[in-house]
Structure 1
Amino acid sequence: MQSRTIVRRALLVAAIFLAAAPVRGQGTASSFTGHTYQPGIDVRDYDIRIELPDTGSFIRGDVTITARRAPGVSTLTLDLVDGLAVRGIEVNDRAIGPVHAHDRIEIPLGTVGGDSVSVRVRYDGRVTDGLVVLKDAQGRWTWFGDNWPNRTRQWLPTVDHPSDKATVGWTVRAPASRTVVANGTLLGVRALRGGMSETRWREAQPIPTYLMVIGAGPLVSVPLATSGCAQSNVSRCVPQSVYVMPENRDWLPGPFAAAAPIVSLFESLVGPFPYEKLAHVQSATRFGGMENATAIFYAYDLFPTRRMSEGLIAHETAHQWFGDAVTEREWGHLWLSEGFATYFAALWTQRSRGDSAFRAEMAGIRRQVLEDSVVARRPVIDTAQTNYLALLNANSYQKGGYVLYMLHHQLGDSAFFRGLRSYYLSHRHGNALSDDLRVELERASGTSLRQFFDQWLRRPGVAAPSIGWAYDAADSTISLLVLQDSTRGAYELPLTVAMSFASAPPSRVDVRIPAQPRATITLPGRFPTRPVSMSFDPDHLLLARIGQP
């Protein structure tokens, strides 16, 4: 399929599917399904109360966890670093002695009746990670949550794993001169004695703990225009705003003028925005951008240096659907978050800057994949990697995004976006693994994709076929000899062959290379003369290094 038609046709397909598709959500499966980190425990809600100081990193926390437990489960384990002192624990309003060691709180549930439990943890101490506390050059103190991948435990007692999503409420007491932003809807701000204020936010949809954040500092909020909202949902334009330090206000909206059209495009391709609002926040984060649900945090220096880009905004916004609403159940499937954000950012490039820019972006991604040493050594689905920060690599981002690009070309607009939409609706506000995506794309296309997913996602490296050809003048046919190294398994490849002739127009044909170490394929059609030249994968759509035998 030619790239100039990708987004245009996809919007029509998505609009038709949106009207026809049922909303399936999380279905009727047990709420404990997939909770491998802490089997038999399902946290439903966190009610978090945090008190921030005027200066420094000493915080006081009071967190109530509401959870369900499966029959026979006698312990709830919360992750919290030992550097924070637990002052008290209550289980269903009854005090118990704190058992806090090895960065965990072990809470006995043996005497608790029923399958629901409420646990309250009071604690305090100086935070050194997770909540980033900084004083800038002008002497202004700021506090920003920065939890990915499992650093929530550095400042909050939680089941700190993406498989256990929950709703969250925030009550933050801070100096009145600080603006507080967090997940969800702002419920109110009230003045307190002693120059303090209390700000309350509430996120009504379940999110993983690594996305549960606050930001506090001398921030100003700049609302963004809602022009460009999705036509299918004009009654509910997503409210968006930018929180910045005061000196950066005059630069806005800048690239954030694209924020509403970006949401509109992704709504058209996937479905309505899954949350209450979207804030874009100048923050302190170790990442260029962090996709916290409803409150994206961007690196501080991108604002004063004016290096913020539409591409980064599109990438982080795409995460609100893929990564936030549909969260990978295990870290080894991170490409379901980062690969999607990479490809959808490229689709925004196509919408905003045209086909040439889109093709150039995908070509650059392809070059990165082919040249990357991690890609050569490790698979995209990397469940053996226990250093989760090491998963922020070209496999999760560039190769994952390019795999979606190849799937899109192979399946076509209709099946591809129908499958993505079904995958999203099936797992929205829940978790998914790579095979969940495969199943939905197979249903949408009527095609088995096991070989595709295995070869591109579960093997290191890329395809490296050697292809030779021969012309048979007796019957005017051309045959290909394809050799593949079977050490890691041969690839099944949809291959375009371009031919040029001395006295005839150039020609293209498409053939399928089987996943075999050695294959001979006869090209379809008759060719009266021998080609002057042959080119394999002339548009460089495959993640492949093609050589000669």
Structure 2
Amino acid sequence: MRALVLICLSITLTSAFSQSYLKRWKTFDVQKYSFSIAVNDSTNSINGRAEIDVLFKKKSDVFMLDLKSVDTDDKGMFVTHVTVDAVTDVVWSHKNDLLVIQTNGVRKGDRHKYTISYFGVPADGLIIGNNMHGNRAFFGDNWPNRAHHWFPCIDHSSDKALVDWTIRAPNHYDVVANGKFIDRTVTGDHTYTHWSSTVPLAPKVMVAGIADFAVQESGKAGTVPVSTWVYQQDRDNGFAQYSIGPEVLSYFIGKIGEYPYEKLANVQSKTRFGGMENAGNIFYYEESTDPLRDVEGLFAHEIAHQWFGNSVTEIDWPHVWLSEGFATYLTDLYFEDKYGKARLKERMTNERESVIAFSKKRMVPVIDDATTDYMQLLNANSYQKGAWILHMLRREVGDDIFFKGIQTYYMTYRDSNASSDDLRQVFETLSGKNLKSFFKQWLYIPGHPRLKHTFKNDSGRVIIEIQQIQKKAFKFPLDIKLVFEGGKSEVRKLNISKKKGSFKIATSHPVIRIELDPDVRVLWEPVFN
């Protein structure tokens, strides 16, 4: 996800909800969601029918789903009917955003299909309203846990299931959704459009988009079809702007491995973010079709998410750097390979400045268990510092192991979930190194090295003093560029591990200047007083 404008929502995960999710995760596993959603042009109310196929991991008297209750503004969902296995009515209750269904004592290994009929005006999640041209449109916008505002689900990033969409809409609309296109049936003034996924998805990236689209088949990346969906008024500019899609997708297939989804649709939308990486159909901000906008980095970031964030999904929200840090650094790699190493150095320098600036506002670790407003996790720690951790890991293990590690991590956790420890273990296995201290200091300790340095020439050598002035010392390699009289220079590597260190280097000429980290390989901040 690339944040353009973040609308700060009060999305708070209470301890009760957290306990509820953990209990549910241990008790049942949704195998597939089948959603039938009807929209109209006269009201913002939707009619929904959800068929939920669930496998019970152990005995349970209830099956619980997240679904927004009706609020004081009459927004939210009204449940009208619940059945099990298509025939039997069941007892249920819906309050406090939780739909609790009585199971009559299912046992471990039982599998049932619950059908829930409901209607209402979404308070969030499904964005309904006029687009930039004044035309009505509907766009799912679920991140982080807003899916339950318009369909019942277990609304957590790590709970994955297949999803099937049937959208009923007035027949002037086109519909794009996750998965493979199945069919489109016209009935009077309405159409029924059917899409279906063949791989499990997290609710945060289960969406449909409904608008008066102009659609173009942009090409293929290998065998993967790539399409463009833009507003009719933006047809020509949008097709041109979005034409980069197949090139970017091809790059990441070559860099990471097989693309995880049936197709890639790049979609102009009303998402609140600059881009939202919905699985197989990415939603970009409305103005992204403007030819004056440079969208190459945005496309690279969101397409990279299809592997990391979507297919390999963080096990829980504090590990969101595994999504955003990966997408940020893979974008850096895209620019490095396409435009050269100087472009990578430029990007890493800018990202380092973002991390330093953020640390002045909030001194928190990358893995931040204390923050429960998930929107607050969309910060420079998750994006730019996450990218920097991967950049430094690349140096720690070397390019060959690093890129093999990225591919192995993807193949190991494809279509499932992973933690930061899972990533560490992949790289430890491949490199033969103990990386616990590396991951601990960069992920769990707030801040970064803040360095003061001095040097002096002394009888055929230069003495360099390096001082870490942050609270806790970091351990890292630091390149030093020695610049001599006459303009010649050389680079030496120092191993920094203490709060203050003195390094003596033999030289044949007096040093007139030193530069720390000339190739931009370490996340650090210079201190000058």
Under a length normalisation based on structure 1, what TM-score does the superposition of the two structures give? 0.86
SS at match of 1:490: coil
Give the conservation status (yes or no) of the 8 Å contact 1:221–1:242: yes
Structure 2 spans left out of the alignment, 5+ residues: 1-20, 71-76
Partner of 1:181: 176
Deviations 1:376-395 (A, max 9, x none): 51111112110001111111
Letter aligned with residue 517 of structure 1: K
Q: Which of 283, 287, 292 is matched with 2:269 structurally?
A: 283
Give the conservation status (yes or no) of the 8 Å contact 2:51–2:116: yes
The 5-angstrom pairing of residues 43-54 of structure 1 reads 43-54=30-41
Q: Give the structure with the larger strand fraction.
A: 2
Letter aligned with residue 78 of structure 1: L
SS at match of 2:507: coil
Deviations 1:440-476 (A, max 9, x none): 1222222222222122221222111334446553xx5
Partner of 1:98: 92
Letter aligned with residue 160 of structure 2: K
SS at match of 2:448: coil
Distance in 2 (CA, whole Å) between partners of 1:37 and 1:519 is 52
TM-superposed CA distance for 1:250, in Å, is 1.5
Distance in 1 (CA, whole Å) between partners of 2:486 and 2:278 is 60
The verdict on how the C-alpha distance between 1:467 and 1:110 changes in structure 2, with shifts beyond 3 A counting, is: farther
TM-superposed CA distance for 1:308, in Å, is 5.4
Give the conservation status (yes or no) of the 8 Å contact 1:281–1:295: yes
Distance in 1 (CA, whole Å) between partners of 2:359 and 2:523 is 14
Letter aligned with residue 521 of structure 2: L
Q: Which of 194, 198, 206 is matched with 1:200 structurally?
A: 194
SS at match of 2:300: helix
TM-superposed CA distance for 1:105, in Å, is 0.6
Bigger drift between 102-111 and 112-121 goes to: 112-121
SS at match of 1:109: strand
Bigger drift between 178-187 and 348-357 goes to: 348-357
User: Are residues 1:292 and 2:275 paired?
Assistant: no
The 5-angstrom pairing of residues 57-96 of structure 1 reads 57-83=44-70, 84-93=77-86, 94-96=88-90
The verdict on how the C-alpha distance between 1:542 and 1:246 changes in structure 2, with shifts beyond 3 A counting, is: same
The verdict on how the C-alpha distance between 1:393 and 1:548 changes in structure 2, with shifts beyond 3 A counting, is: closer
Distance in 1 (CA, whole Å) between partners of 2:417 and 2:389 is 21
TM-superposed CA distance for 1:98, in Å, is 2.6
Deviations 1:500-530 (A, max 9, x none): 333794222112112x33444444xx42454
Letter aligned with residue 115 of structure 1: D
Deviations 1:89-109 (A, max 9, x none): 112332113300101011222
Partner of 2:480: 497
Give the conservation status (yes or no) of the 8 Å contact 1:375–1:395: no
Give the conservation status (yes or no) of the 8 Å contact 2:174–2:213: yes
Distance in 1 (CA, whole Å) between partners of 2:454 and 2:211 is 64
SS at match of 2:198: strand
Distance in 2 (CA, whole Å) between partners of 1:331 and 1:80 is 20
Residue identity over aligned pairs, in percent, reads: 36
Partner of 1:430: 416
Bigger drift between 176-185 and 352-361 goes to: 352-361
Distance in 1 (CA, whole Å) between partners of 2:290 and 2:231 is 9
Distance in 1 (CA, whole Å) between partners of 2:183 and 2:435 is 49
The verdict on how the C-alpha distance between 1:357 and 1:485 changes in structure 2, with shifts beyond 3 A counting, is: closer
Aligned length, in residue pairs:
501
The 5-angstrom pairing of residues 53-452 of structure 1 reads 53-83=40-70, 84-93=77-86, 94-113=88-107, 114-136=109-131, 140-193=135-188, 195-226=189-220, 229=221, 236-303=222-289, 307=293, 309-373=295-359, 376-452=362-438
Under a length normalisation based on structure 2, what TM-score does the superposition of the two structures give? 0.89
Distance in 2 (CA, whole Å) between partners of 1:204 and 1:35 is 26
Partner of 1:453: 439
Letter aligned with residue 103 of structure 1: D
Give the conservation status (yes or no) of the 8 Å contact 2:91–2:101: no
Give the conservation status (yes or no) of the 8 Å contact 1:47–1:65: yes
Bigger drift between 296-305 and 118-127 goes to: 296-305
Structure 1 spans left out of the alignment, 5+ residues: 1-33, 230-235
Q: Which of 14, 23, 26 is matched with 1:39 structurally?
A: 26
SS at match of 1:253: helix
Distance in 2 (CA, whole Å) between partners of 1:35 and 1:169 is 25
Partner of 2:468: 484
TM-superposed CA distance for 1:271, in Å, is 0.3
Partner of 2:525: 545
Partner of 2:74: none
Distance in 2 (CA, whole Å) between partners of 1:468 and 1:361 is 28
TM-superposed CA distance for 1:192, in Å, is 1.4
TM-superposed CA distance for 1:357, in Å, is 2.8
Give runs of ≥4 in structure 1 deviating > 6 Å.
none
Q: Which of 495, 498, 517 is matched with 2:499 structurally?
A: 517
Give the conservation status (yes or no) of the 8 Å contact 1:468–1:548: no
Partner of 1:15: none
The verdict on how the C-alpha distance between 1:179 and 1:499 changes in structure 2, with shifts beyond 3 A counting, is: same
Bigger drift between 415-424 and 303-312 goes to: 303-312
Give the conservation status (yes or no) of the 8 Å contact 1:86–1:98: no
Partner of 1:506: 489
Distance in 2 (CA, whole Å) between partners of 1:171 and 1:44 is 18
Bigger drift between 353-362 and 59-68 goes to: 353-362
SS at match of 1:85: strand
SS at match of 2:434: coil
Give the conservation status (yes or no) of the 8 Å contact 1:248–1:303: yes
What root-mean-square deviation, in Å, do the aligned CA atoms of Structure 1 and Structure 2 show? 2.2
Letter aligned with residue 283 of structure 1: S
TM-superposed CA distance for 1:352, in Å, is 3.2
TM-superposed CA distance for 1:111, in Å, is 2.7
Distance in 1 (CA, whole Å) between partners of 2:378 and 2:298 is 16
Deviations 1:175-223 (A, max 9, x none): 1111111001000011113x11111100111110011101111112111
Distance in 1 (CA, whole Å) between partners of 2:167 and 2:487 is 75
Bigger drift between 71-80 and 386-395 goes to: 71-80
Distance in 1 (CA, whole Å) between partners of 2:248 and 2:501 is 45
TM-superposed CA distance for 1:535, in Å, is 2.6
Distance in 2 (CA, whole Å) between partners of 1:313 and 1:529 is 49
Distance in 1 (CA, whole Å) between partners of 2:129 and 2:344 is 39
TM-superposed CA distance for 1:165, in Å, is 0.5
Distance in 2 (CA, whole Å) between partners of 1:245 and 1:529 is 65
Distance in 2 (CA, whole Å) between partners of 1:502 and 1:223 is 60
